[in-house]
Amino acid sequence: MAIYDIPLAIVCVQISDELANYEYLIAMDRDIGGFDEKNPMKDLVKFAADKSSAILTAERKRLADLHGQCSRFPVAGKTQQTLQVIDATTGILTAIRDRL
């Protein structure tokens, strides 16, 4: 592992830990379908989706800045891949939230 990979790896672990806190609540989305509109579980899933999206949006901004600064180094490819994953995940979270 190159020296420039270490901060990116630490950031990924931190993001993963934060998002794991909301993963269980978001996974409940598939079980909520049959409940009425006033189900409090829907609010919990919306909360988890909103918080996860906020984390991803903040990290995306930071990684986009890093990508611009490191475009000449091999880490640029990794940050670009990470940005694509963040964009896809944010889209999924938005779809889940909109459906609720």
Round to whole Å and give the CA distance between 49 and 15.
14
pLDDT, residue 83, reads 85
What pLDDT was estimated at residue 2?
45
Main-chain dihedrals φ then ψ at residue 88, nearest 5 degrees: -65, -45
> Can you tell me the distance from the alpha carbon of 25 to that of 4, in angstroms, rounded to the nearest whole number?
34
- The pLDDT value recorded for residue 72 is 75
- The pLDDT tens digits of the residues spanning 64-94 come to 887 777 777 776 777 788 888 889 889 988 9
Domain parsing of the chain, residue ranges: 5-99
